[in-house]
Amino acid sequence: MCHPAPDQTASGDRPRLGSGQISGPAVLDTVAALVVHVGPIGAGNTAKPAKQVVVALNIAAVSDALVLAQKATLDPTTPTT
């Protein structure tokens, strides 16, 4: 399978990539198992940081929720249903 050159970094199965167990075209097939087209060439360079903003805000929200729970004397380790 021929792949066009990606315009954005990819992440995936780093242990297998680092050990040399994956090489050639299989590398892109492994790290790009899910390809989301977001626009023309270069659009990925905007989509990636935008996604990272959402990820960072989720981390901050969970952190604030845990602080709120602790200040309300709730046990954050108790599962809820």
Catalytic residue positions, numbered: 48
Question: Could you give the dihedral angle defined by the CA atoms of residues 53, 54, 55 and 61, in that order, rounded to the nearest 10 degrees?
Answer: 110
DSSP structural state of residue 78:
S
